[in-house]
Amino acid sequence: MEQKLKELQAEALQKIEQTEDLKSLNDIRVAYLGKKGPITEVLRGMGQLSAEERPKMGALANEVRAAISEKIEAKQEALEAAAVEKQLASETIDITLPGRPVKVGNHHPLTKVIEEIEDLFIGMGYQVAEGPEVEKDYYNFEALNLPKGHPARDMQDSFYITEELLLRTHTSPVQARTMEKHEGKGPVKIICPGKVYRRDNDDATHSHQFMQIEGLVVDENITMGDLKGTLQVFAKKMFGEDREIRLRPSFFPFTEPSVEMDITCKICGGEGCSVCKGTGWIEILGAGMVHPNVLEMAGFDSKKYTGFAFGMGPERIAMLKYGIDDIRHFYTNDIRFLKQFAVNE
Ligand code: DAH
């Protein structure tokens, strides 16, 4: 019997040793230590033993049980620990891996230039005004001293929607709309950025849709000196302190007198080169003193109030500022072009 118990122990211990999972370990526990197991069976035969041998065998049987269950416990712990290890290993995050770069966008160069100009004028006390892109013929032309049949209307080949409605050809109608809202009372001090439309064939310097920024100041005692000073500040802030401006006489129906502003050419410093077509000057914008007819039509007393206005093309300004040679770059959204403006965001 002793022999049998020892064999059972050896057999069980070996099986436990070889077990690789908790389920079969439990099967072994049931098989060897359960009520129907071989040890219990051996012990049932104790009745045939002598009185001296019985306690010895009982003690041995208990030892065998204890050894087996101890081994099972130990194996169970080892298997559980191994399972946790395995899970941890499979769930480990390798924090040494470099991350995937996140692509960051940047503002469109036109947006940058417009915001820069807006900030500059907001800093001088201007408000940003907006107007509709589908505009009434009245605001786009008539209220700006361009009555029906006026020859200057031919200069602006327009997209008409009906006889009275068109896609605005400039941002100047916002002047008239804003003055109307002020009901004859100054001061008015606005800039107005927005899209405008003309029937142009697209090429390196023309686009059927482009942007303008309009400026308007109306108050008592506004003079040409105010206009010049404002434009000077604008030019130097936008293009550099070393830039000079000059005002050339020009004509716009809604201003009198009218001027065009040039700045000294950065490329040649005023000597004359291909960019400035040998003149040393580059044209930047149109401006002038608001025509009395325009003030009166918008409800302002032109004897009491005077004003100045200016209009510029941010595309042209961006082209000069960044050395861009084709206006179409702004609209074709070539990512290689756009991402060059990501610096200093
Ligand atoms: N509206 C003019 C254009 O589209 C630009 C312009 C010139 C606006 C002179 C003005 C101005 O306000 O005073 O060409």
Which CATH number characterizes residue 120's domain? 3.30.930.10
What per-residue confidence (pLDDT) applies to 245?
94
Overall average pLDDT of the 323-335 stretch: 91
Express each pLDDT in 19-68 by its tens digit: 888 888 888 888 888 888 887 777 777 778 888 888 888 888 888 888 88
User: 286 CB less than 6 Å from ligand 1?
Assistant: yes
Give pTM, 2 decimals. Answer: 0.72
Q: Are 181 and 171 in contact (CB under 8 A)?
A: no
Annotated binding site for Mg(2+): 256
pLDDT bucket at 345, cuts 50 / 70 / 90: low
Q: How many C-beta atoms surround the C-beta of residue 218 within 10 A?
A: 26
Q: In terms of domains, do 115 and 66 share one?
A: no
Residues in Cβ contact with 310 at an 8 Å cutoff, skipping those fewer than 6 apart: 214, 215, 227, 230, 231, 261, 285, 286, 287, 288
Does 211 fall in a domain? Answer: yes
- Both tokens of 18, joined, read 């070889």
Give me the residues paired with residue 305 across strands: 220
User: 211 CB less than 6 Å from ligand 1?
Assistant: no
Sheet holding 245-252, edge to edge: 127-128, 188-197, 209-220, 305-312, 281-290, 255-264, 245-252
User: 287 CB less than 6 Å from ligand 1?
Assistant: yes
Does 102 fall in a domain? Answer: no
Q: Which domain holds residue 284?
A: 109-341
Does 70 fall in a domain? Answer: yes
Determine the residue of 121, 252, 262 to mutate for testing ligand 1's pocket, defined as the one with the most ligand atoms within 8 A of the Cβ atom.
252
Q: In terms of domains, do 236 and 193 share one?
A: yes
For the cut 80, the answer to whether the pLDDT of residue 344 exceeds it is no
Determine the residue of 174, 195, 211, 214 to mutate for testing ligand 1's pocket, defined as the one with the most ligand atoms within 8 A of the Cβ atom.
214
List the one residue out of 268, 266, 226 whose CA is nearest residue 247.
226
Q: In terms of domains, do 261 and 123 share one?
A: yes
Distance (Å, whole) CA 39 – CA 44: 9
Q: Please report the beta strands in 81-139, taking only residues with DSSP state E, as ranges in sequence order.
A: 127-128, 134-136
Please identify, by atom number, the ligand 1 atom nearest to the C-alpha of residue 175. Answer: 12
Q: In terms of domains, do 325 and 222 share one?
A: yes
